[in-house]
Amino acid sequence: MYDRIQDTIVAVSSPPGASARGILRLSGSRAVELAGGLFRPHEGPPLSAAPGHTRLFGELSIEAGATLPAEAYVFRGPASYTRQDIVELHTVGSPAILAVLSDRLVAAGARPAEPGEFTARAFLAGAMDLTRVEGVAAVIHAHSDAQLRAARSLLEGRLGRIAAGFRERLSELSAALEAAIDFADEPVDAPLGRDAAAVLEGVERDLRQLLGEAIDAERLDARPRVVLTGPPNAGKSSLLNRLTGQDRAIPSDRAGTTRDVLTAVLALPGGEVVLCDTAGLAEAEAPDDEPARLARQAALACAASADLVVRVADISERPLEALAAMGPTPGGARVLILLNKSDRMPCGAERDALCARAGGALAVSARTGEGLDRLRARLDAVLFREGAEGDARDGLALYARHRRALADATDAVCRAREAIGPDRTEIRDVELVALEVREALRSLSLLLGEVTTEDILGRIFARFCIGK
Ligand code: GDP
């Protein structure tokens, strides 16, 4: 798609499926002309005469004699997302109608856009760096508040600006080093060794700090895991079903019927979590009961990887003893305690005291739904508000590609610093230092999706007058 940037592309840009509003987007030199073949404004001149940043009301011709009310938004390049002419046609959100319109535009000469092609054009036109391109994709795929915050920070160019700042500092130095090499027979004006060492030390320190403090974006991508544990028949399967509105687990009166680890996605205000229902971790196992042994192993492994362990006990079946019998939590995950089947104990002082003695347990009922709103709010608070993910609010989230590029830049800066040598008034090996600085710049350019050589040349010539 990168070599066919002159094509006019078209795509449905509203979400898939039926919706109140459907959007077709065109980008390219023929966008206005092709859209104008289908769209007629209610009044005034035709679409082709519309200036940039205009909205026109009118109708779209679907097929001979059939029209639909529509709006056309015209953005003239270069003041547009892709820097090309863009037209958005907004009409009713019927996938069938959008497909017919799209086919007609393709028949008239547009090409169906490939995934990400509008953003690719914005990138190729220099409207955004690669980290912001990644931000666009990350925003589309975010499924939690923390992810969305991280994605928006990328999209808004925060990482791009930070990387550009490092590049700026190193480019200055690179220009000075290249000059020192090119004019090796002339004395160097500034104490280059000391300056270079100071710049490299500063950049290395800041790069290491950034890498140390940034959150792994992949960690945000993974939905937190909430594992339900507790004795058989406490109501774990029923809770999972009731909370997620699914029938993944089959509740049963017979103890020990949930043998596998069942999972279901639960949507909370802060994001989605995976609920896992394990075979009773406290389940007694007969020495020759292989399935029970395997189930217990799977349950233990699942609990060990949990972000939160929810211990469930039957409020009417000696819950304190049941909870005590569960022993310590594997893996040291956070714990929430539920006393289920609250419908079996009237609400009041006795129940409150029991919950308090159970370590601040919540009384819930999978049967009546009592306490489940509080449970959802509690899960949301623990997993998305109080937890480590909360630090994505201010911290920067880095993907593996960013970390690799920044780590490569850090290594190169470190090698450059070491190549200066102990006597900072003189650089032991200017060429080696220059090479490592170029290497660091290359890593930062890779991060931003740019090339740097011309950049460096530009800086050299900006600092010297030819003829001197
Ligand atoms: P698990 O073994 O912990 O997964 O327990 P189940 O979900 O299979 O439930 C065991 C039994 O308790 C089933 O008969 C459920 O209908 C019943 N049960 C589950 N939750 C409640 C509840 O809140 N109140 C009452 N009264 N019964 C419940």
Supply the pLDDT for residue 458: 34
Q: What percent of the chain has pLDDT over 70?
A: 85
Question: 326-378 pLDDT, tens per residue?
Answer: 877 666 678 999 999 999 998 889 999 999 999 899 999 999 999 999 999 99
Distances (CA, A) of 345 to 139, 284, 367: 46, 27, 13
Question: 122-162 pLDDT, tens per residue?
Answer: 877 888 777 787 777 777 777 777 778 877 887 788 898 99
Distances (CA, A) of 84 to 3, 161, 402: 15, 25, 29
CA nearest ligand 1 atom 24, residue: 341
Token pair 């000075």 is at which residue? 176
Q: Ligand 1 centroid vs 251 CA: distance in angstroms?
A: 6
pTM for the predicted model, two decimal places: 0.60
Q: Ligand 1 pocket by C-beta < 6 Å: which residues?
A: 232-238, 251-253, 258, 340-341, 343-344, 365-367
**Spatial separation of the C-alpha atoms in residues 295 and 274, rounded to whole Å:** 19
Supply the pLDDT for residue 389: 46
Distances (CA, A) of 44 to 37, 61, 73: 16, 18, 15
| Ligand 1 atom index nearest CA of 257 | 2
- Residue 332 Ramachandran class (φ > 0 left, ψ -120 to 50 alpha, else beta): left
Supply the pLDDT for residue 187: 55
| Ligand 1 atom index nearest CA of 340 | 23
Mutate to test the pocket of ligand 1, among 228, 238, 261, 317 (most ligand atoms within 8 A of CB): 238
Contact present, 392 and 403 (Cβ < 8 Å) = no
Q: How confident is the model at residue 243 (pLDDT cuts 50, 70, 90)?
A: very high
Supply the pLDDT for residue 264: 87
Torsion angles phi and psi, residue 309, rounded to 5 = -105, 125
Lowest mean per-residue pLDDT among 67-76, 84-93, 387-396: 387-396
Q: Ligand 1 centroid vs 403 CA: distance in angstroms?
A: 47
Tokens encoding 219: 């960690």
CA nearest ligand 1 atom 8, residue: 251
CA nearest ligand 1 atom 18, residue: 235
| Ligand 1 atom index nearest CA of 228 | 3
**Spatial separation of the C-alpha atoms in residues 354 and 361, rounded to whole Å:** 8
Supply the pLDDT for residue 332: 66
CA nearest ligand 1 atom 22, residue: 341
CA nearest ligand 1 atom 9, residue: 235
β-bridge partners, 68? 60
CA nearest ligand 1 atom 17, residue: 235
Contact present, 379 and 334 (Cβ < 8 Å) = no
**Spatial separation of the C-alpha atoms in residues 193 and 212, rounded to whole Å:** 28
- Which span out of 21-35, 262-276, 453-467 was modeled with the highest average pLDDT? 21-35
Supply the pLDDT for residue 331: 63
Q: Ligand 1 centroid vs 240 CA: distance in angstroms?
A: 11
**Spatial separation of the C-alpha atoms in residues 149 and 4, rounded to whole Å:** 33
Question: 250-301 pLDDT, tens per residue?
Answer: 555 454 444 566 888 898 888 889 998 876 454 555 566 776 777 777 777 7
β-bridge partners, 277? 228, 262
Tokens encoding 204: 């290395």
Residue 42, pLDDT above cutoff 50? yes
CA nearest ligand 1 atom 14, residue: 253
CA nearest ligand 1 atom 10, residue: 233
Mutate to test the pocket of ligand 1, among 227, 228, 229, 233 (most ligand atoms within 8 A of CB): 233
Q: Please give the torsion angle defined by the CA atoms of residues 383, 388, 391 and 393, in that order, rounded to the nearest 10 degrees.
A: -20
Closest CA to 303 of 272, 325, 335: 335
CA nearest ligand 1 atom 2, residue: 233
| Ligand 1 atom index nearest CA of 238 | 7
Q: Ligand 1 centroid vs 270 CA: distance in angstroms?
A: 28
Q: Ligand 1 centroid vs 238 CA: distance in angstroms?
A: 6
Task: Report strand pairing: 39-41 vs 54-63.
Answer: antiparallel
What would the mean pLDDT of 31-40 be, rounded to a whole number?
Answer: 96
Cβ atoms within 10 Å, residue 99: 13
| Ligand 1 atom index nearest CA of 342 | 23
Supply the pLDDT for residue 164: 92
Supply the pLDDT for residue 460: 26
Contact present, 344 and 316 (Cβ < 8 Å) = yes
Residues 6 or more apart in contact with residue 431 via CB below 8 angstroms: 181
- Alpha carbon 356 to chain centroid distance? 39
> Cis ω on the peptide bond leading into residue 78 (within 30° of 0)?
yes
Residue 402, pLDDT above cutoff 60? yes
**Spatial separation of the C-alpha atoms in residues 141 and 150, rounded to whole Å:** 12
